[in-house]
Structures are given as structure tokens and as C-alpha cells.
């Protein structure tokens, strides 16, 4: 099981990590919440948990807990601009339905 990152996403994460000045990488995951069941987690991490699975994309370390990985398998993490807005986007093949705004989803 694995996830992937686009170059744009890697570059932005690397830049933000450098700006932040500390931390071991980022954590991606899912948690139950929201109007449609699940929501993504995207955070800096200062400590890697023992059961985390860690992926390396160039300088960027991505930690995922085993349960989240089930829902994220095959996901591509991208960084996109939409009009004036910009940010990270999960292209997750496991998603069956999303709420209107896409902030939460169902598998």
C-alpha cells in the first residue's frame, strides 16, 4: 500500500517545512468527522509514532498511521491553484461520495 505526491506538492511541503524551522515532516491521514463521514488530516509532525508508516519523497517525510493508510491507498497528494485560492488536494481513488464542498467524504 502506498501514496504518491506530485512535484508541486513536494516543493511546497519542503518550503513550508523550511519556513517552520523544525519538525520531521508531515502527517496525512483520515479521521471520522464532518457531514459525510470522513475528513483528511494534513499536519506538520514533530514526533513520528512507532506504528506510523513513513514514506519519503525527496526531502519530504510523510507519516501515515496504518488505519488511515487503508483509506488512502493509491492517493496522490497534489498542490493546485484555483483562481486566487491555492492549497493541497487529495486525489483519492477510494472515495465513493463527497459532501458538496468536498471537505468530507465516504469510502
**In sequence order, which ranges of 7-77 are alpha helices (DSSP H)?**
7-20, 66-72
CB under 8 A: which stretch of 48-56, 68-76, 77-85 binds other proteins?
Answer: 77-85
- Does the protein bind other proteins through residue 84 (CB under 8 A)? yes
CB 80 within 8 A of CB 8: yes
Q: Which is nearer to other proteins, 2 or 16 (CB)?
A: 16
- Does the protein bind other proteins through residue 13 (CB under 8 A)? yes
Tell which residue, 13, 5, 23, has the closest CA to residue 90: 5
Q: Which is nearer to other proteins, 21 or 56 (CB)?
A: 21
> How many Å is the maximal CA-CA distance in the chain?
40
- What's the closest the beta carbon of residue 6 comes to other proteins, in angstroms? 14
CB 33 within 8 A of CB 41: no
The pairing of beta strand 4-5 with beta strand 76-82: parallel
CB under 8 A: which stretch of 54-62, 67-75, 82-90 binds other proteins?
Answer: 82-90
- Does the protein bind other proteins through residue 19 (CB under 8 A)? yes
CB under 8 A: which stretch of 40-48, 50-58, 65-73 binds other proteins?
Answer: 40-48
Amino acid at each position: 500500500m502506498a501514496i504518491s505526491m506530485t512535484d508541486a506538492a513536494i516543493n511546497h511541503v519542503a518550503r513550508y517545512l523550511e519556513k517552520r524551522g523544525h519538525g520531521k515532516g508531515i502527517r496525512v491521514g483520515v479521521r471520522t468527522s464532518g457531514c459525510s463521514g470522513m475528513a483528511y488530516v494534513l499536519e506538520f509532525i514533530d514526533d513520528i509514532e512507532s506504528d506510523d508508516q513513513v514514506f519519503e519523497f525527496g526531502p519530504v517525510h510523510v507519516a501515515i498511521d496504518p488505519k488511515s493508510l487503508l483509506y488512502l491507498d493509491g492517493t496522490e497528494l497534489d498542490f493546485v491553484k484555483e483562481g486566487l485560492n491555492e492549497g493541497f488536494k487529495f486525489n483519492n481513488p477510494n472515495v465513493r461520495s463527497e459532501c458538496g464542498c468536498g471537505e468530507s467524504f465516504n469510502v
